[in-house]
Every structure is written in structure tokens, then in C-alpha cells.
Structure 1
Amino acid sequence: MFKSKNKSTIDSLIGASTHIEGNVHFKGGLRIDGRVKGNVVAEAGEPSILVISEQAVIDGEVRAGHVVVNGVINGPVFSSDLIELQSKARISGDVHYKALEMMNGALVSGKLAHDQVAEPVLKLAASN
């Protein structure tokens, strides 16, 4: 009867004309079209998605499960699930990821660091 909330749902928006000075902490999904001078951090241990649009600029650290970048990040990025670097992505800082998708045109000025996981990436179903 009731559908569970999809983990890729955007709950909040920072509009293009919005400038924030200070850290942003969020849960669920966040899309940034404006500018943030501070860290953008998702709640640890919870599914999260962060979308950084083409006109967005973040000056600070970014931490989220799923990160989609098409704007500018000046600082390190930590993605515990997947990071998607779209064609206009510009990152000045190290990128730490579990899985990475990078489109032609995306630029990273820093190290790409694959964070190893303790559990195997491929899980096989056990037969009864």
C-alpha cells in the first residue's frame, strides 16, 4: 500500500541565488545550485545523495554516500558509495571513492583514492 522512500530522492535545495557561509549537514538528498563556503556533510550511516549542479560552487569538504558533480568543488571529496563526475565537474582536492564514474571533460586536480572495502564487491547468492 505504502511505498518506501527511494534513497535517491532530493529532499532539499540550495537555490542558485543562495550563498551560505558555514557548514551544511543534511540527511537524505540535497541539491546545490548556489554557493557554499563551508563543509557539506551527509549524516553518517544513512543513505544519501548530493547533487552539485553546473552553476554550484563549494569551498570546503564534501562527504556523502552518492555524489553527483557537475559544478566546482574546492576541497576534498569523500563518497562512501558512488561518485559521478559529469562533463563540467571541476574538483580541486583529493577524491576518495568506492565506485567512480567520470565523463569526458571532468577535471580533478588532486589524487583519486579508491577506498577498499572489507567485504567483497561481488556477492554470490547461497543455494539452499
Structure 2
Amino acid sequence: MFGKKAITQEIGSLIGTGTTVTGDLSFSGGLRVDGVVRGAVRCSEGEKSGILVISEHGTIEGEVRASHIVVAGRIQGPVHAAELIELQPKARVQGDVQYRALEMHHGAVVEGLMVHIPAEGRVAPLKLAATSTRPDIILSK
């Protein structure tokens, strides 16, 4: 379909609707979450590959780390996408997001910092919005 990217990596594992997993979870290849995970979800391949898909019915309450992350559901916790994060229209993320590439659809919501990871892999330092390096500007306190 026009405008849609096919997920080329195989999704070998599924947490189904109505299933709740409590505790940290490590996966390889691909994982689809239609249920609830209460704990960290990490790709066991060191984020070099692996895709995580959180469907509209899926929820993760904990840290999320993978190379490619597709969010249509809800994440409460920090997110680290080593390559790409796709935020679908019904995506809800409460936590900071680190990403190399970002695709965010109208309607997606992120409550947290969005931090781009440069190609060399170092996160750029954040600056406070109220900080000025110009001596002629005096900021009120």
C-alpha cells in the first residue's frame, strides 16, 4: 500500500492479547507485543538487529531497547532505538526516547525528551533553553 513500509524482518515471538508478562524480557529476531509487559524489554543481540512491534493493544511498562521499534500502543519508560523508531498514530510514549532515525505520524504522543543519536553513536549533550552564551543578554530569575 502507498506510504506503508513492509516490515522485512521476521517476527518470531508474540505476546498475545490478554497475556501479561511480569519481569524483564530479552528477545532475538523479532517480537510483537499485543498484551502487557511489566519490565524491561531488550533485544538480546546487542541492538545491532532485531525488531520490536507494540500493537495498538500492547503496553510495555519498563525500559525498551532494540534496533527497530514500531509503536502503535503504549510505552511507559525510557526507549532506545539504535536505528529507527516508528510512532504510529495511536502511539503513546511516557519517557525519554533516544533514536537514530524517527518516523512520527500525526496523533502520536511523546511525553519526554526526544534525543537524536548521531551516526558516530555519541548522544549530543543537551543544553538548557534558558542558557545564553551571549554576555549582552541578561536572563531574569
TM-score, normalisation: structure 1: 0.85
- Based on CA coordinates, which of the two structures has the bigger radius of gyration? 2
Partner of 1:28: 29
Partner residue, 1:117:
119
SS of equivalent residue, structure 1 residue 98: strand
Q: Name the CA shift for 1:77/1:45 in 2 (closer, same or farther; >3 Å).
A: closer
Q: Report sequence identity in percent.
A: 51
Cα distance in 1 for partners of 2:70, 2:83 equals: 11
The equivalent position to 1:103 in structure 2, one of 95, 102, 105, is: 105
Unaligned runs of 5+ in 2: 1-6, 122-141
In 2 relative to 1, CA 12–84 (structure 1 residues): closer, same or farther, beyond 3 Å? same
Instruction: Looking at secondary structure, tell me which structure has more strand per residue.
Output: 1
1:76-109 per-position Cα deviation (integer Å, ceiling 9, x unaligned): 0000010000000000000000000000000000
Which aligned runs of 4 or more in structure 1 are off by greater than 2 angstroms?
none
2:74 to 67, 72, 75: 72
Q: Does the C-alpha gap of structure 1 residues 15 and 85 become closer, same or farther in structure 2, counting only changes over 3 Å?
A: same
**Residue from 87, 90, 93 that aligns with 1:91:** 93
Question: What residue in structure 2 maps to residue 122 of structure 1?
Answer: none
1:46, distance to aligned residue in structure 2 (A): 3.8
1:123 maps to none
How many aligned residue pairs are there? 114
CA RMSD of aligned residues (A): 1.4
Moved more, 19-28 or 38-47: 38-47
Q: Which structure 1 segments of 5+ residues have no match? A: 1-5, 120-128
Q: 1:60 is aligned with what amino acid?
A: G
Which residue number corresponds to residue 126 of structure 1?
Answer: none
1:18-54 Cα offsets, whole Å, 9 max, x none, are: 1010001000000000000000000205410000000
TM-score for the superposition, normalised by structure 2: 0.78
